[in-house]
């Protein structure tokens, strides 16, 4: 075994350590210090030239915007060392991610798609598995407060009567369920499309889907199902070019969401999915939050609108005080995000951040279209991920660092596509 062959397992270990370090309530400092030291050493091991072709321009710009957003965080619980820690760790992750993916794609003689997909799924699988073990053993990091928000609806129809509770190491219930939906989308598409490791991808798919059910996230199930179906449908009709509409369609999704929720059919037929009488009609409170958020954004001056306020911009701008009473049971209701990726991005990173995000996704999808005939499988999985990204982004702030981990699958999928494009050059 050559030393270079250790790149992938070493990166996977580091990735897993990052996911552990992102738990803001951990009192075990080694979980915060170890990833930094580890990735500095890994950077020396992986040291090499970063890709600098024009296709990477918006990717790097978005990384810079995200880092400055983190450094400008308005959350008063985060001190400067905390912001510097997470920013440096994210930069080191990006560098080593690009070097590792470049090694996999350029040096694997066999089908490399399975190794790329396992690279994103495995760290999250082991994180989730560890969280289950800790919950079963009634162990958790000091400061972890178990959330309980009513009863599980979906599993109750199969005879399971249980509370919706959070797991150690995973953040909030809805936030982690949203991430699980993305992981299920990628793993099930891999099971359907990738020729190798099918058994492993099936295990991952079942595992992530079961965890979604435990978290009782109807949105994650619905949006992942739609994403998988549309991806396979595009493959069947051989019209992958339609995927270019995904970034533009994302702007219309909140309006479609509002229309559907207020339709007579949904009002009359969706009772079995509701946890209370008005939940479907109000979008679980999201419609009210969006109204307050849009009203606040309209009142911004141009400087604020262009560059945003930094992470937790809805809090820093004072906008969240309008919808905080809706979340009065939360420990810090004023920190509750606007439950929409577009609105969240404007609050935190401004119009410049939003435009950069949309342009990057547009260019990634263009690359997928160009490379489709050669690398069909990974391109379809990438498209499926972005369909889910924008669907779940209608009702959740599925970008940045709010959901602890959701930014990592995003940059991973983007980096895969960009490096595959380099291979075609």
* Predicted confidence pLDDT, tens digits, the chain (425 residues): 556 677 888 999 999 999 888 765 455 577 778 899 999 999 998 888 888 888 999 999 999 999 999 999 999 888 888 899 889 999 999 999 999 999 888 886 667 889 999 999 999 999 999 999 988 888 776 656 667 667 777 777 776 777 777 888 887 788 899 999 999 999 999 999 998 899 999 999 999 999 999 988 888 999 999 999 999 999 998 888 888 888 777 677 766 766 565 554 444 444 544 555 444 444 457 888 988 999 999 998 888 899 999 999 999 999 999 999 988 877 788 998 998 999 999 999 999 999 999 999 999 999 988 888 888 899 999 999 999 999 999 888 899 887 767 899 999 999 999 998 887 76
Q: What pLDDT is stored for residue 210 in this prediction?
A: 93
**Which residues have a Cβ under 8 Å from the Cβ of 151 and sit 6 or more positions away?**
161, 162, 163, 164, 275
Measured torsion, CA atoms of residues 62, 244, 402, 152, in degrees rounded to the nearest 10: -170
**Which residues have a Cβ under 8 Å from the Cβ of 122 and sit 6 or more positions away?**
12
Q: What pLDDT is stored for residue 280 in this prediction?
A: 42
Q: Burial level of 314, CB count in 10 A (0-12/13-18/19+)? A: buried
Q: Tell me the three state secondary structure of residue 163.
A: strand
Q: What pLDDT is stored for residue 167 in this prediction?
A: 84
**In whole angstroms, what is the distance from residue 352 CA to residue 32 CA?**
31
**In whole angstroms, what is the distance from residue 386 CA to residue 189 CA?**
13
Q: What pLDDT is stored for residue 23 in this prediction?
A: 63
Answer for the pair 208, 177: CB distance below 8 angstroms, yes or no: no
Answer for the pair 92, 413: CB distance below 8 angstroms, yes or no: no
Question: Minimal CA–CA distance to 181: which of 234, 227, 123, 132?
Answer: 227
Q: Tell me the three state secondary structure of residue 138.
A: coil
């Amino acid at each position: 075994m050559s030393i270079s062959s250790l790149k992938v397992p070493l990166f996977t270990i580091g990735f897993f350590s990052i996911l552990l370090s992102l738990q803001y309530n951990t009192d075990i400092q080694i979980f915060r210090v170890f990833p930094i030291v580890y990735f500095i050493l890994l950077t020396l091991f992986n040291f090499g030239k970063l890709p600098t072709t024009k296709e990477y321009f918006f990717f790097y710009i978005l990384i810079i915007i995200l880092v400055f957003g983190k450094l400008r965080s308005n959350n008063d619980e985060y001190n400067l060392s905390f912001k510097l820690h997470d920013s440096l760790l994210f930069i080191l992750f990006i560098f080593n991610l690009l070097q590792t993916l470049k090694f996999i794609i350029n040096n694997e003689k066999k089908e490399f798609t399975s190794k790329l997909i396992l690279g994103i799924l495995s760290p999250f699988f082991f994180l989730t598995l560890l969280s289950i073990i800790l919950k079963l053993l009634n162990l958790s990091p000091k400061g972890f407060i178990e959330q309980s928000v009513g009863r599980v609806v979906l599993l109750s129809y199969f005879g399971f009567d249980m509370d919706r509770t959070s797991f150690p190491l995973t953040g909030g219930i809805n936030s982690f369920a949203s991430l699980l939906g993305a992981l299920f989308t990628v793993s099930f598409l891999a099971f359907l499309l990738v020729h190798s490791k099918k058994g492993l991808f099936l295990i991952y798919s079942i595992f992530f889907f079961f965890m979604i059910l435990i978290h009782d996230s109807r949105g994650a199930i619905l949006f992942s199902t739609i994403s998988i179906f549309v991806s396979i449908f595009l493959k069947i009709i051989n019209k992958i070019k339609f995927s270019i509409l995904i970034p533009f369609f994302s702007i219309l999704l909140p309006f479609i969401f509002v229309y559907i929720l207020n339709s007579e059919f949904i009002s009359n037929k969706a009772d079995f999915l509701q946890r209370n009488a008005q939940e479907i009609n109000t979008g679980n409170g999201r419609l009210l939050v969006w109204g307050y958020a849009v009203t606040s954004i309209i009142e911004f001056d141009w400087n604020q609108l262009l560059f945003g306020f930094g992470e937790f911009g809805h809090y820093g701008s004072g906008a969240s005080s309008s919808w905080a009473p809706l979340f009065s049971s939360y420990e810090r209701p004023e920190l509750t995000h606007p439950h929409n990726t577009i609105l969240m991005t404007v609050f935190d990173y401004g119009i410049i951040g939003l435009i950069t995000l949309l342009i990057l996704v547009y260019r990634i999808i263009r690359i997928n279209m160009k490379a489709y005939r050669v690398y069909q499988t990974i391109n379809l999985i990438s498209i499926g991920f972005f369909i889910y990204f924008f669907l779940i982004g209608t009702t959740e702030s599925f970008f940045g660092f709010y959901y602890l981990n959701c930014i990592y699958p995003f940059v991973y999928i983007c980096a895969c596509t960009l490096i595959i494009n380099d291979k075609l050059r």
